[in-house]
Amino acid sequence: MVLFRDGAPRGSDESIADLLSPYIVVASRFLAAQFAYLRRTLELRGGWCDRLRVAYRGVRLLTTYALFESAFRLTGNQSRSDGRTCVLVLLSHNRPQNLSLLVASALRTRFINSIVVSNSNPAVKITDWVSTSDSRVVLIDQGEPTSPGHRFVLASRQGGRYFMSVDDDIILRPRQFAALFDHLVGEERVPHGLVGGLYRAGTSATGRPFEHVRRMETEVDILIGAYAFTREHLQRLFDLVHLLRLGDLTNIHGEDILLSFCGISRPRIHNVGIVLRCCSDKLPGIALWKTRPNFFDERVRLFRRARNARLSMGPWLSEASPAAHCRPPLGGDGENQKQCSD
Protein backbone atom coordinates (compact mmCIF):
# COMPACT_ATOMS: atom_id res chain seq x y z
CA MET A 1 0.00 0.00 0.00
CA VAL A 2 1.50 3.33 -1.01
CA LEU A 3 -0.90 5.57 0.85
CA PHE A 4 1.46 5.63 3.83
CA ARG A 5 5.22 5.77 3.94
CA ASP A 6 7.27 4.88 7.02
CA GLY A 7 4.09 4.37 9.02
CA ALA A 8 2.94 8.00 8.71
CA PRO A 9 0.73 10.03 6.37
CA ARG A 10 2.41 11.67 3.42
CA GLY A 11 3.30 15.32 3.68
CA SER A 12 1.31 18.27 2.44
CA ASP A 13 3.50 18.52 -0.69
CA GLU A 14 1.62 15.56 -2.14
CA SER A 15 -1.59 16.24 -4.01
CA ILE A 16 -4.97 15.03 -2.80
CA ALA A 17 -5.22 12.94 -5.94
CA ASP A 18 -1.97 11.19 -5.03
CA LEU A 19 -3.42 10.38 -1.62
CA LEU A 20 -6.82 9.25 -2.79
CA SER A 21 -5.75 7.13 -5.74
CA PRO A 22 -4.00 4.30 -3.86
CA TYR A 23 -6.57 4.51 -1.06
CA ILE A 24 -9.41 3.97 -3.50
CA VAL A 25 -7.59 1.07 -5.16
CA VAL A 26 -6.93 -0.75 -1.88
CA ALA A 27 -10.41 -0.11 -0.49
CA SER A 28 -12.16 -1.10 -3.71
CA ARG A 29 -10.12 -4.29 -4.06
CA PHE A 30 -10.90 -5.33 -0.52
CA LEU A 31 -14.62 -4.52 -0.55
CA ALA A 32 -15.16 -5.97 -4.05
CA ALA A 33 -13.61 -9.25 -2.91
CA GLN A 34 -15.76 -9.31 0.23
CA PHE A 35 -19.02 -8.87 -1.66
CA ALA A 36 -17.89 -11.48 -4.17
CA TYR A 37 -17.41 -13.86 -1.23
CA LEU A 38 -20.90 -13.05 0.05
CA ARG A 39 -22.36 -13.65 -3.41
CA ARG A 40 -20.66 -17.05 -3.58
CA THR A 41 -22.01 -17.86 -0.14
CA LEU A 42 -25.54 -17.14 -1.39
CA GLU A 43 -24.98 -19.43 -4.37
CA LEU A 44 -24.07 -22.26 -2.00
CA ARG A 45 -26.84 -21.52 0.49
CA GLY A 46 -29.93 -19.95 -1.00
CA GLY A 47 -32.60 -20.33 1.71
CA TRP A 48 -34.34 -17.38 3.29
CA CYS A 49 -32.44 -17.75 6.55
CA ASP A 50 -29.20 -17.87 4.62
CA ARG A 51 -30.14 -14.72 2.70
CA LEU A 52 -30.83 -12.91 5.95
CA ARG A 53 -27.48 -14.03 7.35
CA VAL A 54 -25.65 -12.84 4.24
CA ALA A 55 -27.49 -9.50 4.35
CA TYR A 56 -26.52 -9.11 8.00
CA ARG A 57 -22.90 -9.92 7.19
CA GLY A 58 -22.92 -7.33 4.41
CA VAL A 59 -24.14 -4.63 6.80
CA ARG A 60 -21.68 -5.75 9.44
CA LEU A 61 -18.87 -5.68 6.88
CA LEU A 62 -19.55 -2.07 5.94
CA THR A 63 -19.88 -1.09 9.60
CA THR A 64 -16.65 -2.72 10.72
CA TYR A 65 -14.80 -1.45 7.66
CA ALA A 66 -15.93 2.11 8.43
CA LEU A 67 -14.71 1.58 12.01
CA PHE A 68 -11.38 0.31 10.70
CA GLU A 69 -10.92 3.30 8.41
CA SER A 70 -11.81 5.87 11.08
CA ALA A 71 -9.61 4.25 13.73
CA PHE A 72 -6.80 3.76 11.22
CA ARG A 73 -6.23 7.50 10.98
CA LEU A 74 -6.06 8.09 14.71
CA THR A 75 -2.71 8.29 16.45
CA GLY A 76 -1.85 7.76 20.08
CA ASN A 77 -2.74 4.89 22.40
CA GLN A 78 0.23 2.98 21.04
CA SER A 79 1.81 0.05 22.84
CA ARG A 80 2.92 0.60 26.43
CA SER A 81 5.79 -1.88 25.97
CA ASP A 82 8.60 0.53 26.98
CA GLY A 83 10.44 0.51 23.68
CA ARG A 84 10.29 -3.23 23.06
CA THR A 85 9.72 -4.32 19.49
CA CYS A 86 8.39 -7.35 17.68
CA VAL A 87 8.35 -9.10 14.30
CA LEU A 88 5.05 -9.62 12.47
CA VAL A 89 4.72 -12.63 10.16
CA LEU A 90 1.88 -12.71 7.61
CA LEU A 91 0.98 -15.58 5.27
CA SER A 92 -0.92 -15.15 2.02
CA HIS A 93 -2.41 -17.81 -0.23
CA ASN A 94 -6.02 -17.27 -1.28
CA ARG A 95 -6.70 -13.74 0.04
CA PRO A 96 -3.98 -11.41 -1.30
CA GLN A 97 -6.38 -8.45 -1.40
CA ASN A 98 -6.43 -8.42 2.43
CA LEU A 99 -2.68 -8.02 2.85
CA SER A 100 -2.50 -4.34 1.90
CA LEU A 101 -4.77 -3.40 4.78
CA LEU A 102 -2.91 -5.62 7.24
CA VAL A 103 0.50 -4.28 6.26
CA ALA A 104 -0.62 -0.65 6.24
CA SER A 105 -2.18 -1.07 9.68
CA ALA A 106 0.95 -2.69 11.11
CA LEU A 107 3.12 0.10 9.69
CA ARG A 108 1.12 2.61 11.70
CA THR A 109 2.49 1.09 14.91
CA ARG A 110 5.85 2.05 16.38
CA PHE A 111 6.74 -1.27 17.97
CA ILE A 112 6.53 -3.57 14.92
CA ASN A 113 10.02 -3.25 13.50
CA SER A 114 9.78 -5.95 10.83
CA ILE A 115 6.92 -7.34 8.73
CA VAL A 116 7.50 -10.55 6.79
CA VAL A 117 4.84 -11.28 4.15
CA SER A 118 5.05 -14.73 2.59
CA ASN A 119 2.94 -15.64 -0.44
CA SER A 120 2.60 -19.36 -1.21
CA ASN A 121 0.31 -19.08 -4.23
CA PRO A 122 2.37 -19.52 -7.43
CA ALA A 123 -0.37 -17.80 -9.44
CA VAL A 124 0.02 -14.59 -7.42
CA LYS A 125 2.82 -12.05 -7.09
CA ILE A 126 2.60 -10.41 -3.71
CA THR A 127 4.07 -7.16 -5.06
CA ASP A 128 0.92 -6.80 -7.18
CA TRP A 129 -1.06 -6.51 -3.94
CA VAL A 130 1.32 -4.95 -1.41
CA SER A 131 3.28 -1.94 -2.61
CA THR A 132 5.49 -0.12 -0.14
CA SER A 133 8.96 1.37 0.05
CA ASP A 134 9.12 0.94 3.83
CA SER A 135 12.29 -0.93 4.78
CA ARG A 136 10.46 -2.78 7.55
CA VAL A 137 8.50 -4.83 5.01
CA VAL A 138 9.93 -7.99 3.45
CA LEU A 139 7.85 -9.51 0.63
CA ILE A 140 8.46 -13.15 -0.30
CA ASP A 141 6.98 -15.20 -3.16
CA GLN A 142 7.60 -18.80 -2.16
CA GLY A 143 7.00 -20.27 -5.61
CA GLU A 144 5.17 -23.27 -4.19
CA PRO A 145 2.39 -23.85 -1.67
CA THR A 146 3.32 -23.99 2.01
CA SER A 147 1.24 -24.94 5.03
CA PRO A 148 0.31 -22.55 7.86
CA GLY A 149 3.14 -23.96 9.99
CA HIS A 150 5.56 -22.07 7.73
CA ARG A 151 4.84 -18.93 9.75
CA PHE A 152 6.99 -20.32 12.59
CA VAL A 153 9.80 -21.28 10.22
CA LEU A 154 9.86 -17.67 9.01
CA ALA A 155 9.73 -16.38 12.60
CA SER A 156 12.67 -18.58 13.60
CA ARG A 157 14.80 -16.91 10.91
CA GLN A 158 14.24 -13.44 12.37
CA GLY A 159 16.01 -11.75 15.21
CA GLY A 160 14.28 -10.40 18.29
CA ARG A 161 12.40 -11.78 21.26
CA TYR A 162 8.74 -11.05 20.47
CA PHE A 163 6.61 -12.17 17.54
CA MET A 164 3.08 -11.84 16.24
CA SER A 165 1.29 -13.56 13.39
CA VAL A 166 -2.25 -13.02 12.12
CA ASP A 167 -4.20 -15.04 9.55
CA ASP A 168 -5.03 -13.15 6.37
CA ASP A 169 -8.76 -13.15 7.12
CA ILE A 170 -8.32 -11.08 10.30
CA ILE A 171 -7.55 -7.38 9.74
CA LEU A 172 -6.47 -5.65 12.93
CA ARG A 173 -6.40 -1.93 13.58
CA PRO A 174 -3.12 -0.43 14.87
CA ARG A 175 -4.46 -0.19 18.42
CA GLN A 176 -5.55 -3.82 18.30
CA PHE A 177 -2.04 -4.86 17.31
CA ALA A 178 -0.78 -2.76 20.22
CA ALA A 179 -3.23 -4.26 22.70
CA LEU A 180 -2.28 -7.81 21.75
CA PHE A 181 1.42 -6.99 22.04
CA ASP A 182 0.92 -5.39 25.46
CA HIS A 183 -0.75 -8.56 26.72
CA LEU A 184 2.23 -10.62 25.57
CA VAL A 185 4.78 -8.31 27.20
CA GLY A 186 2.68 -8.20 30.37
CA GLU A 187 2.57 -12.00 30.66
CA GLU A 188 5.34 -13.67 28.69
CA ARG A 189 4.85 -17.14 30.15
CA VAL A 190 2.05 -18.06 27.74
CA PRO A 191 1.12 -17.33 24.10
CA HIS A 192 -1.72 -14.89 23.56
CA GLY A 193 -4.43 -14.42 20.94
CA LEU A 194 -7.89 -13.07 20.17
CA VAL A 195 -9.92 -16.19 19.38
CA GLY A 196 -9.63 -19.55 21.08
CA GLY A 197 -11.04 -23.02 21.18
CA LEU A 198 -12.23 -25.09 24.11
CA TYR A 199 -11.94 -28.82 23.57
CA ARG A 200 -15.39 -30.36 23.90
CA ALA A 201 -14.90 -33.71 22.10
CA GLY A 202 -17.91 -33.06 19.85
CA THR A 203 -20.22 -31.93 22.63
CA SER A 204 -20.35 -28.24 21.71
CA ALA A 205 -23.50 -26.70 20.29
CA THR A 206 -22.08 -26.91 16.75
CA GLY A 207 -21.08 -30.55 17.07
CA ARG A 208 -17.46 -29.61 16.41
CA PRO A 209 -14.68 -30.76 18.73
CA PHE A 210 -13.60 -27.20 19.61
CA GLU A 211 -16.00 -24.54 20.83
CA HIS A 212 -14.88 -21.13 19.59
CA VAL A 213 -14.73 -18.26 22.07
CA ARG A 214 -13.85 -14.64 21.37
CA ARG A 215 -14.12 -11.11 22.72
CA MET A 216 -13.41 -12.12 26.30
CA GLU A 217 -10.51 -12.40 28.73
CA THR A 218 -9.98 -16.06 29.43
CA GLU A 219 -7.76 -19.10 29.16
CA VAL A 220 -8.41 -21.46 26.25
CA ASP A 221 -7.17 -24.83 25.06
CA ILE A 222 -6.00 -23.60 21.66
CA LEU A 223 -5.45 -20.27 19.93
CA ILE A 224 -7.04 -19.62 16.54
CA GLY A 225 -6.16 -17.03 13.90
CA ALA A 226 -4.01 -14.53 15.81
CA TYR A 227 -0.87 -15.30 17.82
CA ALA A 228 1.55 -13.37 20.01
CA PHE A 229 4.50 -15.36 21.31
CA THR A 230 8.10 -15.18 22.47
CA ARG A 231 11.29 -16.82 21.25
CA GLU A 232 11.03 -19.26 24.17
CA HIS A 233 7.61 -20.36 22.93
CA LEU A 234 9.09 -20.76 19.46
CA GLN A 235 11.94 -22.91 20.77
CA ARG A 236 9.49 -25.10 22.67
CA LEU A 237 7.35 -25.47 19.56
CA PHE A 238 10.30 -26.87 17.61
CA ASP A 239 11.08 -29.15 20.55
CA LEU A 240 7.49 -30.41 20.49
CA VAL A 241 7.56 -30.95 16.73
CA HIS A 242 10.75 -32.98 17.14
CA LEU A 243 9.29 -35.06 19.97
CA LEU A 244 6.15 -35.82 17.94
CA ARG A 245 8.26 -36.55 14.82
CA LEU A 246 6.08 -34.32 12.68
CA GLY A 247 8.81 -33.33 10.25
CA ASP A 248 9.20 -29.91 8.64
CA LEU A 249 6.93 -27.23 10.10
CA THR A 250 6.54 -25.80 6.60
CA ASN A 251 4.35 -28.79 5.75
CA ILE A 252 2.37 -28.93 9.00
CA HIS A 253 -1.28 -28.04 9.53
CA GLY A 254 -2.47 -27.47 13.09
CA GLU A 255 0.48 -25.30 14.05
CA ASP A 256 -1.87 -23.24 16.22
CA ILE A 257 -2.48 -26.32 18.36
CA LEU A 258 1.24 -26.91 18.80
CA LEU A 259 1.92 -23.29 19.81
CA SER A 260 -0.89 -23.49 22.35
CA PHE A 261 1.05 -26.09 24.33
CA CYS A 262 4.25 -24.04 24.46
CA GLY A 263 3.51 -21.87 27.48
CA ILE A 264 3.89 -22.83 31.11
CA SER A 265 0.09 -22.88 31.33
CA ARG A 266 -2.88 -22.56 28.97
CA PRO A 267 -2.82 -19.74 26.40
CA ARG A 268 -4.98 -16.67 26.86
CA ILE A 269 -7.28 -14.68 24.58
CA HIS A 270 -8.27 -11.04 24.94
CA ASN A 271 -11.04 -8.66 24.00
CA VAL A 272 -9.59 -5.90 21.80
CA GLY A 273 -12.93 -4.79 20.36
CA ILE A 274 -14.69 -5.51 17.08
CA VAL A 275 -12.33 -6.96 14.47
CA LEU A 276 -12.68 -6.56 10.70
CA ARG A 277 -12.99 -10.08 9.29
CA CYS A 278 -12.96 -11.49 5.79
CA CYS A 279 -16.25 -12.91 4.49
CA SER A 280 -14.63 -16.02 3.00
CA ASP A 281 -14.58 -18.01 6.24
CA LYS A 282 -17.16 -20.58 5.07
CA LEU A 283 -16.18 -20.96 1.41
CA PRO A 284 -14.71 -24.22 0.07
CA GLY A 285 -11.44 -23.68 -1.74
CA ILE A 286 -10.59 -20.65 0.42
CA ALA A 287 -11.32 -21.48 4.06
CA LEU A 288 -9.03 -24.35 5.11
CA TRP A 289 -11.60 -26.02 7.36
CA LYS A 290 -14.04 -26.22 4.44
CA THR A 291 -11.39 -27.42 2.00
CA ARG A 292 -9.06 -29.88 3.73
CA PRO A 293 -10.52 -33.42 4.07
CA ASN A 294 -10.90 -34.72 7.64
CA PHE A 295 -9.95 -31.30 8.97
CA PHE A 296 -11.42 -31.71 12.45
CA ASP A 297 -10.35 -35.34 12.83
CA GLU A 298 -6.77 -34.31 12.11
CA ARG A 299 -6.95 -31.50 14.64
CA VAL A 300 -8.36 -33.73 17.38
CA ARG A 301 -5.64 -36.31 16.83
CA LEU A 302 -2.92 -33.65 16.89
CA PHE A 303 -4.43 -31.99 19.97
CA ARG A 304 -4.42 -35.27 21.89
CA ARG A 305 -0.90 -36.15 20.80
CA ALA A 306 0.42 -32.68 21.69
CA ARG A 307 -1.36 -32.74 25.06
CA ASN A 308 0.11 -36.13 25.94
CA ALA A 309 3.57 -35.16 24.73
CA ARG A 310 3.45 -31.92 26.70
CA LEU A 311 2.64 -33.85 29.88
CA SER A 312 5.51 -36.26 29.26
CA MET A 313 7.98 -33.38 28.84
CA GLY A 314 7.41 -32.15 32.39
CA PRO A 315 7.14 -28.50 33.48
CA TRP A 316 8.75 -25.81 31.36
CA LEU A 317 11.32 -23.59 32.99
CA SER A 318 9.81 -20.25 33.90
CA GLU A 319 10.80 -17.53 31.46
CA ALA A 320 11.68 -15.45 34.49
CA SER A 321 14.40 -17.95 35.38
CA PRO A 322 17.92 -17.10 34.14
CA ALA A 323 18.37 -20.73 33.12
CA ALA A 324 15.48 -20.39 30.69
CA HIS A 325 17.42 -17.81 28.70
CA CYS A 326 20.53 -19.99 28.38
CA ARG A 327 18.91 -22.30 25.87
CA PRO A 328 20.33 -22.17 22.34
CA PRO A 329 18.20 -19.58 20.49
CA LEU A 330 16.55 -20.03 17.13
CA GLY A 331 17.39 -17.56 14.41
CA GLY A 332 19.39 -14.40 14.93
CA ASP A 333 20.34 -12.53 18.09
CA GLY A 334 18.40 -9.41 17.21
CA GLU A 335 17.04 -6.64 19.33
CA ASN A 336 15.66 -7.52 22.78
CA GLN A 337 16.77 -11.16 22.59
CA LYS A 338 18.07 -12.01 26.05
CA GLN A 339 21.35 -13.82 26.47
CA CYS A 340 22.74 -15.85 29.36
CA SER A 341 25.03 -13.60 31.40
CA ASP A 342 26.38 -15.88 34.08
Burial call 132-149: b when 16+ CB within 10 Å, e when fewer: bebebbebebbeeebbbb
At position 205, the amino acid (one-letter code) is A
The CA dihedral of 104, 85, 167, 156, to the nearest 10 degrees, is 130
Give the domain range for residue 23: 4-72
d(CA 158, CA 237): 16
Does a structural domain hold residue 103? no
Does a structural domain hold residue 337? no
Strand 162-166 versus strand 170-171 pairing type: unpaired
Is the pTM for the entire model greater than 0.85? no
Q: How many CB atoms lie within 10 A of CB 19?
A: 15
Does a structural domain hold residue 41? yes
Query: How many domains are contained in the chain?
Result: 1
Each residue's pLDDT, cut to its tens digit, for the chain (342 residues) gives 334 333 333 344 444 444 445 667 788 889 999 999 999 988 887 788 888 989 999 999 999 999 888 877 765 556 777 889 999 999 998 899 999 999 999 999 989 999 999 999 999 999 999 988 899 999 999 988 888 999 999 999 999 999 999 999 999 999 999 999 999 999 999 999 999 999 987 554 455 789 999 999 999 999 999 999 999 999 999 999 999 999 888 888 899 999 999 999 999 999 999 999 999 988 887 777 667 777 888 889 999 999 999 888 777 654 444 333 334 335 444 443 333 333
Query: What phi, psi does 230 have (nearest 5°)?
Result: -105, 175
